[in-house]
Amino acid sequence: MTPEEKPLNFLEQIIKADLEAGKYDKIITRFPPEPNGYLHIGHAKSICLNFGLAETFEGECNLRFDDTNPAKEDDEYIQAIIEDVSWLGFQWAGEVRYASSYFDQLYSWAVHLVEAGKAYVCDLSPDDARRYRGTLTEAGKNSPFRDRSVEENLHLLARMKAGEFDEGSKVLRAKIDMAHGNMNMRDPILYRIRKQHHHQTGNAWCIYPTYDFAHGQEDAIEGITHSICTLEFADHRPLYNWFIENLPVPAKPVQYEFGRLNLNYTVTSKRKLKQLVDENFVDGWDDPRMPTIAGYRRRGYTPASLRKFCDMIGVTKSDGVVDVAMLEHAIRDDLDKNAPRAMCVLKPLKVTLTNYPESKTETLTAPGHPQRDDLPMRELVFAREIFIDAEDFREEANKKYKRLVIGKRVRLRNAYIIEADEAVKDGKGNIIEVRARVIEDTLGKDPEDGVKAKGVIHWVAAQHCVDFEVRLYDRLFNDPAPDAGDKNFLDHINPESLQVLTHCKGEPGLSNVEIGMAFQFEREGYFCRDSRSTELVFNRTIGLRDSWAKIAD
């Protein structure tokens, strides 16, 4: 779709005007994650925005890892992020890029600032530095090391680089203005001592640039035209511009900010997500309850549904909270149109059809999808013993109950009408079997005696089905704002966010489906085969209807 075919958001308007004015021949955007965790749904919005703008205006988008803090980074996160971006359907320009590839250039620019009298080595302890920084209402005061000579600063910086000082003993700071109204401009740190192994550069460095110092210069090196960040970086823009203006960079990118994605019933802080993983509240970063892209993928969400959701919520200049029901609608709508159908009995109850011959079986057919002629028909085996869901039978029920009841009739989906005669119980009074009869000549038509079935239930043949485990996933938190204010988000974990059902029964064709393949289990919801289980396991992606609607009301 071209920009003229839909209303433009404010970023599209800016880019369109820049191109029409001849400011750029081609736009270049970038997606610059820090590899200190897995990407979450908020990152999905940023991915779709940056890559989407490049696609819309026939430009390019770089994938760059801002790997300036080896203490929190890991190659596992890099590989997971690469997989996430590819899975969403985007291709970056050229090779994957790293901030660490520019460390030599960044250091030379730090030297440039020192030589220009615009940076200095500071010996203040972290606690003293915080005290000297001032507050939002009080100006800071100059470090006692601010007026060191250029020669002394160059000498100390070289010794920092050589590893002669302990961590935390010295930093390199920009010399801007300790009375500036923007706290980010009060002599920000450019380099810290970190004597830690780096996943890309090994032990080549023991000082590392801060994100603020590295980010804009990385953009300049790559010729980024529109550096798009979330709104919390708006206060950092003056510093971004200060570096660009005071360094001999090859290009002058411009930073723009948009409102980040906040979902209710969801936590997206990387620190808190990591805590959920580290303290075993979830089964890893890709647990299907996690709001990570990997978690959504394992749960059965599709790239199309996440991209559609990001398109639905739009791009704004302000932050807001989006109802998670919009995301759930996006996946429900996608799977309703595309997921093949199957029958699965989650809580099996045996039904013996007493008037159906023991040795007889019939092969019945059912559509792969009610609106998709391109999907093949399914073959179902019908026999004397079948399983239905235990919740689909009652000995007695009122007229609102449209399932199987003693003395009443129900239609088996894509098969016959049956009538229940008797419930068989064990010594504790639990129903373990139902005896029923097939109403003859009701395959695809109503009975001749005119007594119609009250409802339709799903089933599988007892000797012609496959056993598997089903995991019923729900929202991880039961509070719309689990980490708002002074709340402890761990206090709001939904105790029913996962239910595991064993010995579920499904159509035989489910035994050899591909990892990640999605189905609508009729009358139950949408499910996909789990990607990490060696056994046959299906994860519930989403129910057929919003089970939280009544709570929300």
Helices marked H in 291-393: 293-299, 303-313, 324-338
Tokens of 35: 């590899």
End-to-end CA distance of the chain: 38
Asked if 41 and 296 count as a contact pair (C-beta separation under 8 A), the reply is yes
Catalytic residue, candidates 64, 175, 237, 270: 270
* Whether residue 34 lies in the annotated active site: yes
Within 8 A by CB and 6+ apart from 72, the residues are 34, 36
Contacts of 129 (CB under 8 A, 6+ apart): 122, 143, 171
Active site residue 260: yes
Q: Out of 34, 55, 152, 385, pick the active-site residue.
A: 34
Whole-angstrom distance, CA of residue 64 vs CA of residue 260: 19
Q: Which helix (H) or strand (E) holds 258?
A: strand 254-258
Q: Which is the catalytic residue, given 260, 272, 402, 413?
A: 260
> Could you tell me if 342 and 519 are in contact, meaning their C-beta atoms sit under 8 angstroms apart?
yes
Buried b (16+ CB within 10 A) or exposed e, 117-151: eebbbbebeeeebeebbbeeeeebeebebeebeee
Are 90 and 61 spatial neighbours (Cβ–Cβ below 8 Å)? Answer: yes
| Residue 32 token pair | 């610059």
Active site residues: 34, 260, 270
